[in-house]
Structure 1
């Protein structure tokens, strides 16, 4: 895997999605093998993105790779990690046919606990973010930050690689970990 810092020249989530895809021109069958999170948006219209991918990205007109390095996380049971996750907490109604946003903070934390059952987590900060797109509805993402103690390294590794929740194409789902202390 690779972890990269990328500057995008587009601000709309659909255009960001397209620009990110453009970083991987030789991806077979257009299989998504990357996750990203907008880290900040500059006043000049540039967007800074953290990108995790299985192949190394290459710059193009709307996306410049600023830094990229190989990334091979080694997770160990009982170790503590700081985490950050921009997510789109949802729940299904009527046997999975209708999906709605979870707006209540306590329900959002419960959702996160269900998604990260392989770890004991403590959420230390939550920041709601409105994400706008010309192609879809506005979504209310939540940026979770906190501390986790890993119980099942394989389960957390899968969450790290596959992402968490819906709206991955719009920049949600990337779980970042850093060894605590």
Structure 2
């Protein structure tokens, strides 16, 4: 049985106050997008819904890609943007070993700080990775996800900052990768598309987009 997932492409209305608010604050964006999935999903609703998203921006447009098991764009705020929804089943069915694909993903490359022995049992802080270290992180995670990378092009992303009243803004270091790859494990790749890759999934990271080689 093929996995279930839908992808909404939302061309944002730059004049919408709700859009302007969400582009300033990633926590508000997350709350808005959670309106698209069913209610009462338990203690981990984003994970239960399989909700992932990415903001793709050009000089003239901002487009949200939102993926989940089920999506209802009619629940977006009025005037938020124009939406198209497609079923991802045909894409999953097309994934075969040896298939050449193009990919796009925004990720949060990071490692955990190593602590001295006298702090054994404690967790070190997360350290953002940049440059070649970030590229190596993505290459390793792509391999685990069933992709053999052929090319990769990193682009730093100015991430929206989740804010809470009375606290300083928290930043997530995000990098977008575009490139080509070959499918090595269709099952692992399907799982990676459904569940996302890496951390900061509530803030626009982890959504892996795939297309035939030669397309964007």
TM-score, length basis structure 1: 0.87
Q: Identify, as 1 or 2, the structure richer in helix.
A: 2
Structure 1 runs not aligned, ≥5 long:
none
Deviations 1:135-178 (A, max 9, x none): 24222211100111011111111111110111000001100000
Deviations 1:89-139 (A, max 9, x none): 011122753211102x21111101211122210233211012131424222
1:102 maps onto 2:129 in alignment: yes
Structure 2 runs not aligned, ≥5 long:
13-17, 116-122, 164-168
Q: Identify, as 1 or 2, the structure richer in strand.
A: 1
1:132 maps onto 2:149 in alignment: no
CA shift for structure 1 position 42: 7.9
SS at the partner of 2:102? Answer: strand
Closer, same or farther in 2 for the Cα pair 1:134/1:116, shift >3 Å?
closer
The answer to which of 77-86 and 56-65 deviates more is 56-65
Question: Any residues of structure 2 matched to 1:14-29 within 5 Å, and which?
Answer: 14-29=27-42
Contact 1:58/1:65, CA 8 A, preserved across alignment: no
Q: Across the two proteins, how many residue pairs are aligned to each other?
A: 178
> How far apart, CA to CA, are the structure 2 residues paired with 1:83 and 1:90?
21
**Aligned to 1:151, which of 173, 184, 192?**
184
> How far apart, CA to CA, are the structure 2 residues paired with 1:25 and 1:156?
26
> How far apart, CA to CA, are the structure 2 residues paired with 1:155 and 1:41?
31
> How far apart, CA to CA, are the structure 2 residues paired with 1:109 and 1:18?
31
> How far apart, CA to CA, are the structure 2 residues paired with 1:87 and 1:102?
11
